Chain A
Amino acid sequence: MAISLKVNGATHQIDADPATPLLYVLRNDLSLNGAKFGCGLGQCGSCMVMVEGEAVLSCVTPIMLLEGREITTVEGLGTIEEPGPVQEAFIEMQAAQCGYCIPGMMMSAQALLQKNPAPSEEDIRNALSTNLCRCGTHMRILAAIRRAGEVMQSAGMTSTNRRTG
């Protein structure tokens, strides 16, 4: 039974068991390898994507729940030539060490900033409380998110006039 998934604006017909986690479909069927397999238990955040503007753990989300809903992965935030503000800020602040957690961090950050481009330090920490980084680049990640918030605010990219996923 094919399920129709809308990822980064493109619609795909997926022929898979409805209980298949979204993460497997993204990586194995759609070759969108940004979202990572970390724990497979929804505890580390490296598989984070957005569903209709909310941060969602793709490793514990079966595709049967996502028919027709807007899914955004880190690939949907921008391109190498034209990175989105969150991607730009992570590069500017050199927020990645090994980089494995970074796509998940970016998606949690994107979901937060779309709703609130001027988050407090506490808002950021709460939004990222289920994203783990083993290298210890947390301070740079926090700085990158603050920076991305500033950029999005000055560009007027708030939830009212731009909404991804």
Chain B
Amino acid sequence: MRAVRILAAVAVVAGLVLVGLAAFAWRSEIPAEEISESARFDPALMEKGAQLAAVGNCIACHTVPGSKAFAGGLAVPTPFGTIYSTNITPDPETGIGRWSEAAFQRAMREGVDREGNHLYPAFPYDHFTRVTEGDNRALYAYLMTREPVSAVAPPNELQFPLNFRPLLAGWKFLYLDEGPLVANAQQSEEWNRGAYLAEGLGHCGACHTPRNDLGAEDKDRHFAGGEAEGWQAYAIDESSPAPIPWDRESLAFYLRNGWHELHGVSRGPMAEVTGNLGLLPDSDIDAIATYTSSVMGEPTPERRRQADELLEEVVGRSPGLVAAADSQSNPSSGDAAADPGAAIYAAACASCHEGSRPQPFGGLNFALSTAVNAPNPQNIVNVTLFGLPPADGEASSVMPAFAAVLGDEEIAQLLAYMRERFSDEPAWADLADQVRGTRTGEYEVSIRPADGIERAPINVGAED
């Protein structure tokens, strides 16, 4: 009898725990609304929403390149499986056409869809929870007035039990710090505006902050560098590997233009970001630059001294006066047998990268290159293999892809030579392996034109 009583007690407790967990994970459905004509929204609000959507880079994840904007379906690879972005056009059946503003506000703040399902944090609601009600209203006005597209995303490919959404309540309990950012009274209004944009809708940390084993950002290593779509998102804290330290002015220029003379061009997913930021007023760009440069902090005197020396060496000879490059000269290999990497560099790279053409159309001097000075060579591997595809119908930076002529060992030799010559950092390990994995697609890399998503034919939202 006693055993039965114990069993019964265990069953009751277990039942209560399950009920409790279910209640903990449960979110209500917000009733569907019939929302259609765009006339209901104030044009000024829609305009503001367009700018905010650009800050959020919403289009990049919610669009398959070459297909309709915001219609979703893009595969987002994660360490836990592939998640497909959702359709956020106002299509009533397959998009968010029946979402009330309250449902949209809740999705941004809590990561829950209209029906009450928990959303995966690939949708960066850990950042979007900081967005104000007013800004969400503008975003809603903008999205609800896009062209409705009927499109259903493929089902997510996640391992059991991660495909069981109520578990996300536990993830949120651990990692979602809901609600607005507390203003820092010690800092200027511009700094606080920048923090709001960068930490909220801009979700810089989603790529630039490393993640833990459960896919949450490691708050103790804020902006210490992460990755996105096969690209390294460099550290943008005091450990930034940029040879010339960033400051407010250079960052603002880079975010505005997608390139900077001492840092090169933005590429990979960052090209989408800088492409989108073109819609922002200077004041917002300056605010993001003010905040981010303050996170990076003042460079140490030692770093400043090294940077000054480098500037003297590289830029002291002003662009246009550099004699080294002549695209009609016959490159000399030196001793090709002794150092094949040097010979490949001389023949394939130097004509542009030691050339006289300024950024963004000339090749960056590698002594200034963050890619060559970064702890992980992934970005320079990507660019060497796949190049920088040109934009459509306008001038853009461009680099040929070398995958067809350079083998894995040859690229390893080339990059080892460049690391040795243009950086004081230690040699990269297992380069050839990394090149092979990148070439075969074992390590997946998305390749997009250097100047952003909306301007090239195969790019996101080109027609919309």
Q: Report A's interface with B, CB cutoff 8 A.
A: 17-21, 24, 37, 39-43, 51-52, 54-57, 59-62, 64-66, 122, 125-126, 129-130
Known pairs A61-B405, A129-B389, A130-B400; A20 contacts B330 (CB<8 A): yes
A59: chain B residues within 8 A (beta carbon): 327
Q: Is residue B346 within 8 Å, beta carbon to beta carbon, of the partner chain? A: yes
List 17 A–B pairs whose Cβ atoms lie within 8 Å, in order of A's numbering.
A17-B330, A17-B336, A19-B343, A20-B331, A21-B331, A24-B330, A37-B328, A40-B328, A40-B351, A41-B351, A42-B400, A51-B404, A55-B404, A62-B346, A62-B347, A125-B392, A126-B389
A19 touches B346 (CB 8 A): yes
Known pairs A42-B400, A130-B400; A19 contacts B333 (CB<8 A): yes
In the bound complex, what is the Cα–Cα distance between A60 and B352 (angstroms)? 10
Known pairs A40-B327, A60-B347; A19 contacts B389 (CB<8 A): no
The proximity string for B residues 409-451 relative to A, scoring 1 for CB distances below 8 Å and 0 otherwise, is 0100000000000000000000000000000000000000000
Give, as a whole number of angstroms, the nearest-CB distance from A106 to chain B: 17
> Is the interface on chain B under 10, 10 to 19, 20 to 34, or 35 or more residues?
20 to 34
Give, as a whole number of angstroms, the nearest-CB distance from B318 to chain A: 20
Task: Name B328's closest neighbour in chain A (CB-CB).
Answer: A40
Q: Top 5 nearest A-B pairs by Cβ distance? A: A40-B327, A62-B347, A19-B333, A54-B404, A19-B347
The proximity string for B residues 331-374 relative to A, scoring 1 for CB distances below 8 Å and 0 otherwise, is 11100100010011011100110010000000000000000000
Per a CB cutoff under 8 Å, which of A17, A37, A125 touches B457? Answer: A125
Give, as a whole number of angstroms, the nearest-CB distance from B447 to chain A: 11
Task: Name A61's closest neighbour in chain B (CB-CB).
Answer: B405
By secondary structure, the B interface counts as: loop
A64 touches B343 (CB 8 A): yes
Per a CB cutoff under 8 Å, which of A39, A129, A130 touches B327? Answer: A39
Per a CB cutoff under 8 Å, which of A61, A62, A122 touches B343? Answer: A62
Q: Is residue B121 within 8 Å, beta carbon to beta carbon, of the partner chain? A: no
Q: Is residue B19 within 8 Å, beta carbon to beta carbon, of the partner chain? A: no
B351 touches A64 (CB 8 A): no
Give, as a whole number of angstroms, the nearest-CB distance from A24 to chain B: 7
In the bound complex, what is the Cα–Cα distance between A62 and B405 (angstroms)? 9
B331: chain A residues within 8 A (beta carbon): 17, 19-21, 62
In the bound complex, what is the Cα–Cα distance between A65 and B336 (angstroms)? 11
Known pairs A41-B327, A125-B457; A19 contacts B351 (CB<8 A): no
Known pairs A19-B343, A21-B347; A65 contacts B352 (CB<8 A): no
The proximity string for B residues 383-417 relative to A, scoring 1 for CB distances below 8 Å and 0 otherwise, is 00000011010000011100011110010000000
A24: chain B residues within 8 A (beta carbon): 330
Task: Name A54's closest neighbour in chain B (CB-CB).
Answer: B404
In the bound complex, what is the Cα–Cα distance between A67 and B296 (angstroms)? 48
In the bound complex, what is the Cα–Cα distance between A130 and B331 (angstroms)? 23
B119: chain A residues within 8 A (beta carbon): none
Per a CB cutoff under 8 Å, which of A19, A56, A57 touches B336? Answer: A19
Give, as a whole number of angstroms, the nearest-CB distance from B37 to chain A: 34
A64 touches B458 (CB 8 A): no
In the bound complex, what is the Cα–Cα distance between A21 and B329 (angstroms)? 10
Q: Is residue B375 within 8 Å, beta carbon to beta carbon, of the partner chain? A: no
In the bound complex, what is the Cα–Cα distance between A20 and B329 (angstroms)? 10
Give, as a whole number of angstroms, the nearest-CB distance from A40 to chain B: 3
Give, as a whole number of angstroms, the nearest-CB distance from A60 to chain B: 5
Most buried by B among A51, A55, A56: A56
B405 touches A66 (CB 8 A): yes
B390: chain A residues within 8 A (beta carbon): 129-130
Per a CB cutoff under 8 Å, which of B333, B389, B392, B458 touches A18? Answer: B333
Task: Name B361's closest neighbour in chain A (CB-CB).
Answer: A43
A56: chain B residues within 8 A (beta carbon): 404-405
Q: Is residue B66 within 8 Å, beta carbon to beta carbon, of the partner chain? A: yes
In the bound complex, what is the Cα–Cα distance between A37 and B330 (angstroms)? 13
A64 touches B333 (CB 8 A): yes
A64: chain B residues within 8 A (beta carbon): 333, 336, 340, 343-344, 347
Task: Name B404's closest neighbour in chain A (CB-CB).
Answer: A54
Most buried by B among A17, A54, A55, A59: A17
Task: Name A55's closest neighbour in chain B (CB-CB).
Answer: B404
In the bound complex, what is the Cα–Cα distance between A39 and B328 (angstroms)? 9
A66: chain B residues within 8 A (beta carbon): 405
Task: Name B456's closest neighbour in chain A (CB-CB).
Answer: A129
Give, as a whole number of angstroms, the nearest-CB distance from B309 to chain A: 29
In the bound complex, what is the Cα–Cα distance between A62 and B348 (angstroms)? 7
B405: chain A residues within 8 A (beta carbon): 51, 54, 56, 61, 65-66
Most buried by A among B340, B400, B406, B410: B400
A37: chain B residues within 8 A (beta carbon): 328
